[in-house]
Amino acid sequence: MKATVRLGRLCGIPIGIHISWLLVFALVTITLGYGIFPDWLGGSPAVAWLAALAASLLFFISLLAHELGHALVARRYGIPVHSITLFALGGVAGLEREPERASAEFWMALAGPAVSLALALLTGGLWYLTQQGPDAPNAVLFYLALANGMLVLFNLIPGFPLDGGRLLHAAIWGLTGNLRRATRVAALIGTLVGLAFIAFGLFELIFETVYSGIWLVAIGWFLQHLARDAYHSARPPRPSLPSFPVIERVRPLPHLPLAPPTIEQPEK
C-alpha cells in the first residue's frame, strides 16, 4: 500500500500515512471526545476533546511501534523493508520479499504483538501508579493500556494475514515443511475468520450499534479479501491440455480428375 503523505524516516525506514488513516483518526477522536471521555472525566468538554486528540495520536504512534517491531525483526533476518504505512485498519510494513524460513516468519509475526503487549503493560502500570494525578492524563493512559491490549488480542486471532494467522502459517510450515500447504490452510482459516467478522458486524449493525457494526464488517471484508488472495496464490497452477499433432488415420485419396481423360485417335 502506497503512502499518501510521507512523514519522514524512523530507523532508516520511510514512514507514511494513507489517506484512509485520516478518516479513522477523525472517527476515533470523535468517539473519544464525544462519547467516552466526557463520561470518564466530566467537567469541561474542552478537556475531554484535548484528551481525545492526545489519546488518538498516541494510539496511532503505538500502531507505528507495532509495525516497527515487525520491520526491525525482518531486517534482522536480512529482509529489506522499504516502508511502513498507517492506513484505515492499522498499519503495514512493506517487505522486499517473504521470509525463506518458518522460524523467521514466526519471530517476525510475534514481534508486533510483543511490542503492543509491552506498551499495554507500560501504560497500564503508569495509570496504576498515577491514579491520584490529574484525571485527563489518567484517562489517556487507561485508554492506551486498553487499546494496546485489545490490539494484542485482535492480532493474535489465527486468521491469515493477521499476526496470529502468520504464527499459524509458520507453525504448519515448520511441522510439514510444505509452504504451499501451510499457506492454503492459514488462508482458508483467515477467510472463515473474515466471514465471521462480517456476520457479527451485520448482527451489530441491525440489532446493536451502527458504528461498531460498520467497523466489524469493514475489518471482516478486508481480512477475507486478503486471505482469499493468499489462498489463490498458493494453489498449484492448473495444468494446460497437452497439444498433440493431428494424426491422419486414413491416407488421402490420390487426386482424380473430374472428367475422364480424352484419348486422341492416331492419324490415318
Catalytically active residues are 67
Alpha-carbon gap, residue 95 to 100, rounded angstroms: 13
Torsion angle of C-alpha atoms 66, 68, 72, 74, degrees rounded to 10: 70
In this structure, which amino acid lies at residue 236?
A: P
Residue 132 C-alpha cell reads as 491520584
Residues 6 or more apart whose CB falls under 8 angstroms from that of 177 comprise none
Residue 78 zone, left/alpha/beta (φ > 0; ψ -120 to 50; rest): left
Alpha carbon of 177 to those of 100, 110, 166, 252: distances in Å? Answer: 12, 20, 15, 57
Nearest residue to 108 via CA among 150, 161, 34, 61: 161
For residues 190 and 160, the answer to whether their CB atoms sit within 8 Å is: yes
Q: In what order do the strands lie in the sheet with 5-10?
A: 5-10, 13-17, 81-87, 90-95
Closest listed residue to residue 42, CA positions, set 135, 116, 150: 135
Amino acid at 132: Q
